Structure 1
Amino acid sequence: MEGKILSTLEFHKIVEQLTAKASTSLGKAKAEELLPVSDLEQVKKRLQATDEASAIDRLKGGVPFGGIRDVRAPIRRAELGGTLNPTELLDIATTSQGGRRLRRFLELAAEDHPIPLLVDLASLISEDRSTEERILQCIDEGAFVMDSASQELARVRQELRTGEARVRERLDQMIRTPSVQKMLQDNLVTIRGDRYVIPVKAEYRSHFGGIVHDLSASGATMYIEPEAVVQMNNRLRELRMKEEREVEKILIMLTTLVAQEAEVLSANLAILAELDFIFAKAVLARGMKATLPIMNDRGFLKIKKGRHPLLAKDVVVPLELEIGNHYSSIIVTGPNTGGKTVSLKTVGLLSLMAMSGLFVPAEDDSQLCVFDGIYADIGDEQSIEQNLSTFSSHMTNIISILRGMTPKSLVLLDEVGAGTDPAEGSALAISILDYIHSMGCRLVATTHYSELKAYAYDKNGVINASMEFDVQTLSPTYRLLVGVPGRSNAFAIAERLGLPKRIIDHARGQVAEEDQRVESMIATLEENRLTAEAERVSAESLRREVEETKRKLEEERRRFEEERGKLLVKAEQDAAAAVTKARREAEEVIAELRKLAMEGAKVKEHELIDARRRLDEAVPELAPKRAAVPAKKVRAIEPGDEVMVAKFGQKGTVVDVGAEEATVQLGILKMKVALAELELIKAAPAKQKHVQQATSSIKRTRDENARLELDLRGKNIEDSIIDVDRFLDESFLANFPQVYLIHGKGTGALRIGIQDYLRRHKHVKSFRVGAYNEGGIGVTVVELK
């Protein structure tokens, strides 16, 4: 790709933004070298790497590049035999640490999200820590060679510290002496040129032996090394020289280790630079709100709401463009300041970004092509130095384009044929466009010439386009309208600005009738387009509303089903709990009845078994049941008939028959059952009917409401005895073997009075106080004859 094209489309500004997003100087250097490539597979691999990095950036919020330095120069100097200083060695160690840390980070991130390219790249980072560990054993975080670097260095430094302490101690003794203090400018020990000295007043110089090492600016203070410590300072000097030689040995040793690992370290740096570069592309994509484009090599472009990446997001108008399917060339017409040049640059720059492995600021599923070359002639490149006119400059660029382009190229021409006579310029423009189109290139060109509108209509594979212009506001909207040629709008603008109508009408008369028809046709097309656009927007709004309503209904249905399921489960659980409780209570009743039977009461075992079976059948089934089918009636049910009660699955004898229900004797119980639920099993014999009917004629009306218990609580003895007498008669007629009289505990007077009456009653066989589960002493259980 020619550097001039990259400059024309301002690709270098994208590179500058990318460089700023890199975390290390290694990544910045890599980003500065970015260039688009024309190999489809390589472009796809670049974009895949950017996509993986974007996923990690989105999920993890950042990548650890801390501690990584550009140590290529120190490594190279170590290879050449130079000695590295402690700071350079420490940078090499921390870079090795940072690379290993980055590798572990990506391997852990791969467990949450697949990033095969990044993991493969990170796996090439060496895990060898020998050189790194040796450097960190010798050099601390402040880039200082530690005493532990070698035994000799530790011994020398220990001796040096001891010697310094002795010198300071000797000098401290001197400055504390009263005779010496009066000769000192300050009572302190200081250092000049690595030697310990004391500040002496100049007039007392002769009282001190030793060496003068410095003089104050005023000359009033002399910094003297007394004779008493000269030999001691000399010894310190020797020790410092030994320390320097030992440190030099350690640095040479460490530099040798770096030189031996230079190839591995350099390879690690290259990988780290590539990883930082890839993640810089991901950060740039996030900042631009860019997306992954779909790439092809068949010359197809479909840009959906593409934005120029160098323009502010809140002012740029998204570009909608498709080329390479039904047509390969687009001719954009219309007045200046309409955004034609921006549209050209957007197409070119987005293509360059995609070919460089960068995401593009457009909607998802935008498609771009890998071209073998992108050529552009955009803007006024008139050169005063070369004495070229605007037309000559354009022609020079176009000639260069015609020489270099291939059928797999993208050509962008701005104001083709401009700068010369309109008649000749339009003819030349048509010829140039015709040649480029015949080559099979993808072409987007802008022009003022109205003749090119007709060219686009007549040429197969070429389509007109224009930049939308609002005549009411006299301003462009910067929207590219593919399929609609541009209008001059000159007359409309002049009229809106107040030019007299007479002048405008006269001007219209100067325009050829054919041109007027073309303008009228374009106006009609634009009006139809605006109407269709409004209808499309309305339909889109309705579609979104319908989809939203559908989504809400689906959500409501889903919640309803969930709630319904929960309610069903809860109802089944509640029913099962109720049945369990009832079964438990029934088991207690049956146990009590069996106990009574064992004690001599007249309760038959088969009645107990039958009661237990009915309880088992009372357990509700959780699966849905089929609706019960009413039994067919052979004839009308009559008293004394043996019938089957469908809902209980039990046989019984009809006691009485009403209009819609009958009283049925089921064992020791009498129940009212709807006639529709009775199935005749055996008709009663004529004699039995007669007896039954005769019996029924002497029944009291209260037989229909006979019950097993009588509540007497709150009544006096006289009233209670009357109620008990009536109750016992009704129970006897109902053939109840046992009834309950509830009188409460209280003082016991009511219980005693009732029990005295029971001893004399003709229907009472025996009575007893209620058991614990029957109410205790508050109830008297009466067994009837």
Structure 2
Amino acid sequence: MDKYCKALELDKVLVKLADFCSCEDGKTLALNIEPLTETEEVKALLEKTVDANTLTNRYGTPSVGSLINCTACLRRAQVGSRLTMKELLDVARILSSIDTIDRWHRQLEEKPASLEFLLDSVVALPNLYREITSAVLSEEEIADKASPELADIRRKIRAAGSKAREVLDKMVRSTTYQKYLQESIITMRDGRFVVPVKTEYRNEVKGLIHDTSSSGATVFIEPVGVVEANNEIRILQNKEKVEIDRILSELSAQVGGCCDSILGSYEAMVELDLYFAKSRMADAMKASVPHINQQGIINLHHARHPLIDAEKVVPIDIRLGEDFDTLVVTGPNTGGKTVAIKTLGLLVLMAQCGLMLPVADNSTVPVFEKVLVDIGDEQSIEQSLSTFSAHMTNIIQILQQADERSLVLLDELGAGTDPVEGAALAVAIIEQIRFQQAKVIATTHYAEIKMYALNTEGVENASCEFDVATLRPTYRLLTGVPGRSNAFAISERLGLSQQVIENAKEHVSNENARFEDVVSQLEATRQQLEQERQLAQSQRQKAQQNRQQADALRKKMEEEKEREIERARTQARSIVEQVNFQAQKLLDELEEIRKKKDSENFADMASKAKVAFKANMRKLQDLADPVTKKTGEYKPPRPIRRGDIVQLAGLNKEGTVLSNPDGQGYVSVQAGIMKTKVHQSELRLVDLKDKKVTINNSGVSTRNVTSKAQREVKTEIDLRGMTADEALMELDRYIDSSVLSGVTTITIIHGKGTGALRAAVHQRLRKHKNIKSFRLGTYGEGEAGVTVAEIK
């Protein structure tokens, strides 16, 4: 990392990024990041960070744990070396992390193209993971089930050990030997079972001496009776070691065979860990994605320095490269000038490192090949350089490198020498850098540079706002307004006598005084305009709120209007259906009267029909008026539901409810052969518990049976115009009524049409228990449009 990046503290940002990484190699990768200088490369790198952030916000960040770099042991296994148990467990940890990433990858519904190659490079090896973890229990222990041979050897070792312990237990419990023993215990020396014997009795216990205590009072003797058992244990232990070596070699060979796959997955996971770390840091900074442009335009909205406490940092807006290529920032000391230019430079470098930026949306930055910086006090005692000399040395190097793809940041340009010469030199340096077509931001106190910015096209003034009343900077960067040093105002507020201040003002040149007055007037005008802008913005927000409330109210009224229209349409349909029903009833009555025209009382019938016709016409007129108020509101004893027998108010007609009330309270009612849709307020429940039906001169009580007139069933039923479900329900009811009335033959009119209704009727007749047979109608009966059925 070059000195310019360090001057902007990019190294500290990368340390912060490394803290978000999960593994050491990821941290190393983060610390070694260098800004890219090609636009397309920066866009591709930033896209990976954005995709990682999108995935983590939607699916969570996969936990890879603390990955360990096992490259060395994997390469040794690849060439045939045997790995230790610890090395195999390290490999198993990597395999576990690989499996975690693989399972997380497989759950993704949308897979981002920028990270797909890395995610596909992580290949899980579940079988190898199970082989290692089932065989190796710890860094020093192999499981018995690692192989059948090992399990058998260890079983024999345990058996031989039990045999030896049994012999020694008898000895230590024997009264003969207890007086020879230092303690009645069994211990081990050199992997062999022994007993502690007092030194003076070592000749009394026959066996091999393996060790002596530090005091010399005890010798550890292997009795002759357990020598053979101990020898067998030693042989078995050697076999166990050989078998363990074989198991480790076999596992190492399997690891070596998968070496390239494991290393490829590991490298991909380390890189993924870096992108997930960038994502986590972006969330911590509340960062957004900047637009990358090739025109050298910088436009940062509410930019925040990432190393300043988020609770204390003041967001700033910075523009450069569109209307002007040079920005001169002025203002008092500690006002935030240096922080402003360091924020700009650091955010540019962060974007070129593929990091999201702590800025508001729609911010844009270009890609610079070089970011050249002269910031801070670089006085060098070793090189015998003064502050001014050190700055000039640095600026000379900048002038040698600056070009059209460079961003130059100069802090306190021209300071440290004679003000007149320093100001002239500063202007000359800015002009030279502009001639080399680099973008420039410089901070200064010199009025001459402020005047240069006012009089030069492509150069703009900016200032860091300072509140003289509180003697505190606001840290806001105001583009287009030159700043004031405010030295006199600050001194006066701190208590310097007015006489000294007036004397100082007399020493200021008239030209500088006039310039400061102009700046002061501009600042006052700016503050007034700022207040007016805030007031206008507040009023605009209030107007927007009022407009939104009006829009919401208008939308609500439109929705209410639509509901009322739909309610009126439904009511109109109901009225039309009821009018059709009443008209059909009148036609039926007229047809009945016509059929009886030859009867003796025809005149009376006609007279009564005329009176009834007029009465029904009045009812139709009342029915056609949707505004007519109904008096005497009826409340049913229970909610009306499908299958109820009801009376239609105003029609004096009983019918059967075919459907439950809909959302607006309307139900379908079948009255005779007519079906209508009426509001449930127009219906009256009929109490049927006291009604009876007479069959074969016997009184039988039944429910859901209406008057005698309803039991007079015609010999035909018309199902045309009904749906299949409605038709089958009406057909079942008609057949039941026909059975009760003793009808033997019925005619079902279903029409020809598509044949679907006829097929449904025939299907129901085949299964109906009361139907003996059925056939299609013949010529004169309606042919295929009717079905004639015989009732059992």
TM norm. shorter chain > 0.5: yes
Match of 2:362 among 362, 365, 389: 365
User: What are the superposed Cα offsets for residues 645-675 of structure 1, whole Å, 9 maximum, x if unpaired?
Assistant: xxxxxxxxxxxxxxxxxxxxxxxxxx9xxxx
Larger radius of gyration: 1
What amino acid sits opposite 1:343 in the alignment? A
**2: distance between equivalents of 1:567 and 1:237?**
99
1:261 aligns with 2:258: yes
User: What are the superposed Cα offsets for residues 280-306 of structure 1, whole Å, 9 maximum, x if unpaired?
Assistant: 100000011111111112211111110
Match of 2:484 among 477, 482, 487: 487
**1: distance between equivalents of 2:515 and 2:243?**
93
Q: How many residues align?
A: 626
What amino acid sits opposite 2:509 in the alignment? A
Q: CA deviation at 1:328?
A: 0.7
Match of 1:161 in 2: 158
**1: distance between equivalents of 2:116 and 2:624?**
61
* Bigger mean CA offset, 489-498 vs 366-375: 489-498
1:172 aligns with 2:174: no
Match of 1:641 in 2: none
Q: CA deviation at 1:235?
A: 2.0
Match of 1:312 among 305, 309, 312: 309
1:536 aligns with 2:533: yes
1:106 aligns with 2:116: no
**1: distance between equivalents of 2:101 and 2:365?**
33
Normalised to the residue count of structure 1, the TM-score between the two structures is 0.72
1:24 aligns with 2:23: yes
Q: CA deviation at 1:202?
A: 5.3
**1: distance between equivalents of 2:536 and 2:467?**
24
Unaligned segments of structure 1, at least 5 residues: 628-670, 672-707, 709-770, 775-785
What amino acid sits opposite 1:89 in the alignment? L
Match of 2:285 among 263, 288, 298: 288
Match of 1:121 among 118, 128, 133: 118
**2: distance between equivalents of 1:581 and 1:33?**
86
Match of 1:717 in 2: none
Match of 2:132 among 121, 128, 135: 135
Question: Measured at CA, do residues 178 and 505 of structure 1 come closer, stay the same or move farther in structure 2, by a change above 3 Å?
Answer: same
**2: distance between equivalents of 1:532 and 1:354?**
35
Match of 1:41 in 2: 40
1:279 aligns with 2:283: no
User: What are the superposed Cα offsets for residues 696-752 of structure 1, whole Å, 9 maximum, x if unpaired?
Assistant: xxxxxxxxxxxx9xxxxxxxxxxxxxxxxxxxxxxxxxxxxxxxxxxxxxxxxxxxx
User: What are the superposed Cα offsets for residues 485-540 of structure 1, whole Å, 9 maximum, x if unpaired?
Assistant: 12121221222223332322222111111111100000011111111111222222
Q: CA deviation at 1:186?
A: 4.8
SS in structure 1 at match of 2:462: strand
SS in structure 2 at match of 1:445: strand
**1: distance between equivalents of 2:133 and 2:161?**
28
Match of 1:72 in 2: 71
1:523 aligns with 2:520: yes
Given that 1:297 and 1:371 are in contact with CA atoms closer than 8 Å, whether structure 2 keeps it comes out as no
Q: CA deviation at 1:180?
A: 3.7
Given that 2:327 and 2:460 are in contact with CA atoms closer than 8 Å, whether structure 1 keeps it comes out as yes
1:346 aligns with 2:313: no
Question: Measured at CA, do residues 492 and 209 of structure 1 come closer, stay the same or move farther in structure 2, by a change above 3 Å?
Answer: same
**1: distance between equivalents of 2:312 and 2:140?**
51
User: What are the superposed Cα offsets for residues 416-462 of structure 1, whole Å, 9 maximum, x if unpaired?
Assistant: 22222222222222211111111111111112222211121222211
* Bigger mean CA offset, 393-402 vs 23-32: 23-32
Match of 1:476 among 460, 473, 478: 473
Question: Measured at CA, do residues 545 and 172 of structure 1 come closer, stay the same or move farther in structure 2, by a change above 3 Å?
Answer: farther
Q: CA deviation at 1:200?
A: 4.4
Note the 1:327-346 alignment, pairs <5 A.
Answer: 327-346=324-343
Match of 1:389 among 380, 386, 389: 386
User: What are the superposed Cα offsets for residues 24-83 of structure 1, whole Å, 9 maximum, x if unpaired?
Assistant: 334223222222111111111111111111112222233232485432232133245432
Match of 1:12 in 2: 11
**2: distance between equivalents of 1:592 and 1:522?**
103
Match of 2:92 in 1: 93
**2: distance between equivalents of 1:595 and 1:240?**
116
1:189 aligns with 2:196: no
Match of 1:448 in 2: 445
Given that 1:68 and 1:96 are in contact with CA atoms closer than 8 Å, whether structure 2 keeps it comes out as no
Note the 1:372-451 alignment, pairs <5 A.
Answer: 372-451=369-448
Question: Measured at CA, do residues 161 and 547 of structure 1 come closer, stay the same or move farther in structure 2, by a change above 3 Å?
Answer: farther
Given that 1:330 and 1:462 are in contact with CA atoms closer than 8 Å, whether structure 2 keeps it comes out as yes
Given that 1:371 and 1:409 are in contact with CA atoms closer than 8 Å, whether structure 2 keeps it comes out as yes
Match of 2:733 in 1: none
Question: Measured at CA, do residues 141 and 205 of structure 1 come closer, stay the same or move farther in structure 2, by a change above 3 Å?
Answer: closer
Match of 2:51 in 1: 52
Q: CA deviation at 1:211?
A: 4.2
Q: CA deviation at 1:378?
A: 0.8
Question: Measured at CA, do residues 535 and 157 of structure 1 come closer, stay the same or move farther in structure 2, by a change above 3 Å?
Answer: same
Normalised to the residue count of structure 2, the TM-score between the two structures is 0.72
**2: distance between equivalents of 1:186 and 1:611?**
126
Q: CA deviation at 1:98?
A: 2.7
User: What are the superposed Cα offsets for residues 104-129 of structure 1, whole Å, 9 maximum, x if unpaired?
Assistant: 323422x1x55222233212223555
Q: CA deviation at 1:10?
A: 1.2
Q: CA deviation at 1:371?
A: 0.4
Given that 2:61 and 2:276 are in contact with CA atoms closer than 8 Å, whether structure 1 keeps it comes out as no
Aligned-pair Cα RMSD in Å: 3.7
Q: CA deviation at 1:252?
A: 2.0
**1: distance between equivalents of 2:52 and 2:562?**
44
Given that 1:328 and 1:443 are in contact with CA atoms closer than 8 Å, whether structure 2 keeps it comes out as yes
